[in-house]
Every structure is written in C-alpha cells, then in structure tokens.
Amino acid sequence: MSYFVGTAKKFKVNDIRGLQIHFNREAAIKSNEDIDLSLSGENYDLSSWNETQTFKNRWKHIIKTGHNNKNTIRKDAVGTVSIVVTSDRAFFDNLSAEETRKYFEVSYKVLNDYFGEKNVISAMVHMDETTPHMHYAVVPLTKDGRLSAKEVVNRDFLTKLQDIMPENLQDAGFDIERGIKGSKRTHLSVQDFKATFPDNSYKKQQEIMYAKRDEIEKELTSLLSDTSSIQKEIEKDLIELGNKISSLSGKMVYGYFPEEIKREIDIVLHKIVDKTPILEELLKSHRQAFGQIVYNSEDEAKEAVVKMEKWEKAFFSPGKGQDTRKHNRIIRCALEMARNEKVHARKQEYKNNLHKEATYSLLFSLTKILETDGWRSCNYGIADLRTKKKIKQRKKDILRESREM
C-alpha cells in the first residue's frame, strides 16, 4: 500500500530567486545526485503563469494585488511556502504519464482551494528525479490580506492536508492512503541526521560503507578486465534489448511496457546475474539465509521455501507496487548502448569504452541493490517466520498449562 506524502517548508523573500533556479533547473545542482538533467525536459508547471515571468515578479504581482499594504514587508520575512507533494517510487512506476499528471493536478486543485490559485507562484512537477514530485510554491496571505506563514501554514493545516488530500485522490481513482496519524516521525536535514550520531560515529559508519563500496568496485573492475567475454555477452543482450525498446513510444519505464517486453527485460536480468560471479554469490547467500533457520516441523520448512521463491520472483519479475529499480536501470543502460551503436558506428574503440563504462555502472548498481534490498527482504522473511514460530510455540505452552490446571 502506498501513502500520500506532503511536506511544507518556509522560505524568506530573499530565497525566492533560489527557488526559481531549483524548480526550473537553471543551474547544475551538485548537491542532489538523483537529478537526471537529460530528463528535465519532461518537467512541467501546472500554474497559469507565463514561464517567461520570474518568480520574484510573480511574487511582487501577488503582493501588489492581494496584500493589504498596512504593514511593510521585511526582507527577512517568510515570503513563500513550498509544499512538496509525492508518494513512493513504486506507486508512480505503476502509473502512466497521464495518470501521474492527473495525480498532481488533483493535488494542485486541493491546495488551490485552501490557498487560492491567485496566490500561487509555481507548481512545478519534477520528473527528472528518482521519484516524481510537485513543488507547490505559494504566498501565504491571510483572508484579510496579511502576509503570515505562521497563521496560514500551521499544524491544523498540515493535519488537514494529510486528511483531505488522500480522500480527494481516492475519489479520483488512486490507490493511496493517509500517512500514519499521530506518527512521531520527523524529517531531518542531512546536518541534523549526522548530529544524531554521537562522537562522530556517523563518520565511522560512512567510512565502513565507503570501504565496502570500494571493495565491490574493485571486484567489478577486476571482473570486467579479466572476463571480457562475459562483458561482451552482457553488452550484446543489452544492445538487442535497447533496439527493441527504442522502437516503442511512451515512457521508458518498466511498469509501462507490454508484458512481452517485460519478460525480455526479466530474462536479461537473469542472464546478467547468472554470468556475473559477484551477483550470483549474493543471490546464493540470500537463498542460504532461509536455510539457516531451525524448524520444528516440515511445514515451516516448506513455508520458508515459499517465501524465498516469492522474494526471488519479485526480484526478477516484479509486479504492481514492487521494486523495479533494477529493471529501469537495465532499460536506461540498454537504450544508452543502442544509441551509442548508432551514433558512434565507425568509432569502434571509443564505442567499446562507452559500452564498458555503461556495463560497469550497471553491474555496480545491481550489486548495491541486491546486497542491500536483498538482505533486507530476506531478513523480513526470516523475522516473520520466527514470529510465527514463537506464536505457535506460545499457543502450545498455553494449551499445556491449561491442561495441567
């Protein structure tokens, strides 16, 4: 089940120019590695403003027509509020481009009903990051024309947003739920997150993570240099797949493809895992994880096998709402290789280097996904089995105790 996600952040008047740069991708954003600038052309603004008008001019127009002019606006005052609307990645992977747009259009309308469309600076939908999301920037004017973010965007509003938005999205046909009511979870900035680790233990954890990543990277580099035949086989499969996919229309995402193309992508993933020792070893280790549990009966052993098969099926052939990052990564790599074949047809050495780099990047990504998400899924399965085992044992104990009484 997917949940509606909505967060609000306040910005001062002097920050409005920075919002425009970020929303419209007017400069390279080095702090966010998830942005793929090649996809930035798919971003769109749902507001009615002419795109040639700057955010600062839009803000000035809203203030001129809506502010009561009784109080002078300080430069350090909160001039706008940005509300980010989204859900999880798996939710959007199973929507078409039209359905995704409809999701944000419904959200845009709900927010307009509260703030008033005349006070909106921008409603930019970003499709060039890992998960589609909308930045709804609005001037927080009260009904009597005062600029007051504290009054307009308060705790009651945030609670109301979490209640009303999912209801409207459900009415529009989306399978979305409200977030957990009363949850104590809070959003932390990177700096605040680091601060939660005492004695610089965050840095120690980071060093361990980087060391492990470097180790995997060395293994992959060694693999690609020592086993060029495996690399060539993988490249061949990817180029063939890329040529097929490039002839299709629509969004180049696993969830949007017809079933026969999905099966071909699944087969390519199987081949890559089978031909790559690192991936094959990781998969074996996940299978063995289930076998390390001590069972009381043969039925529990069968249940463990069923759970493992279910996880493996979701890994290679994900269904609706399941993780498709591996498959989307293969799609991007396949399209890139197919394009290189056409663009650099006569430059064989240059083309080989591009293919090698793309293959390495793909294998590195798949290794990270299989290492982290694979273990997490297996551990959940094991924990679930152990919980059932404890419950079953507890029932036996209660039954025995009642007989003894």
CATH number, residue 133: 3.30.930.30
CA distances from 373 to 254, 283, 350, 354, 378 (A): 19, 11, 35, 28, 8
Indicate whether 129 belongs to any domain: yes
Q: For the segment 386-398, what is each residue's pLDDT rounded down to a tens digit?
A: 555 555 666 566 6
pLDDT over 70 at 54, yes or no: yes
pLDDT band at 197 (very low <50, low <70, confident <90, very high): very low
Indicate whether 38 belongs to any domain: yes
> Which pair of structure tokens corresponds to residue 98?
């039209």
Q: How many domains does the chain have?
A: 2
Indicate if 74 and 122 belong to the same structural domain: yes
Scanning 83-200, the segments in alpha helix (DSSP H) are: 89-93, 97-115, 149-152, 155-171, 190-195
Q: For the segment 302-337, what is each residue's pLDDT rounded down to a tens digit?
A: 666 777 777 788 888 888 777 788 888 889 888 888
Backbone φ and ψ for 84, nearest 5 degrees, come out as -95, 125
Q: Which domain holds residue 344?
A: 198-404
Q: For the segment 28-37, what is each residue's pLDDT rounded down to a tens digit?
A: 555 555 677 7
Residue 117 CB: number of other CB atoms within 10 A? Answer: 14
Indicate if 45 and 155 belong to the same structural domain: yes
Indicate if 147 and 202 belong to the same structural domain: no
Indicate if 346 and 217 belong to the same structural domain: yes
Q: For the segment 350-369, what is each residue's pLDDT rounded down to a tens digit?
A: 777 777 777 777 777 777 77
Share of the chain above pLDDT 70, in %: 70
Indicate if 202 and 153 belong to the same structural domain: no
Indicate if 303 and 346 belong to the same structural domain: yes
Indicate if 202 and 346 belong to the same structural domain: yes
Q: For the chain, what is the largest distance between any 2 Cα atoms, rounded to a whole number of angstroms?
A: 87
For residue 340, what is the enclosing H or E element? helix 325-343
User: In a 10 Å sphere around its CB, with 0-12 CB exposed, 13-18 middle and 19+ buried, how is residue 271 labelled?
Assistant: middle
pLDDT over 60 at 97, yes or no: yes
Report yes or no: 262 and 320 within 8 Å, Cβ to Cβ.
no
The model's pTM is 0.48
Share the mean pLDDT of the chain. Answer: 76
Indicate whether 127 belongs to any domain: yes
Indicate if 146 and 232 belong to the same structural domain: no
Given this model, what pLDDT does residue 210 score? 56
**Which of 179, 214, 245 is the endpoint of a domain?**
179
Mean pLDDT score, 60-85: 85
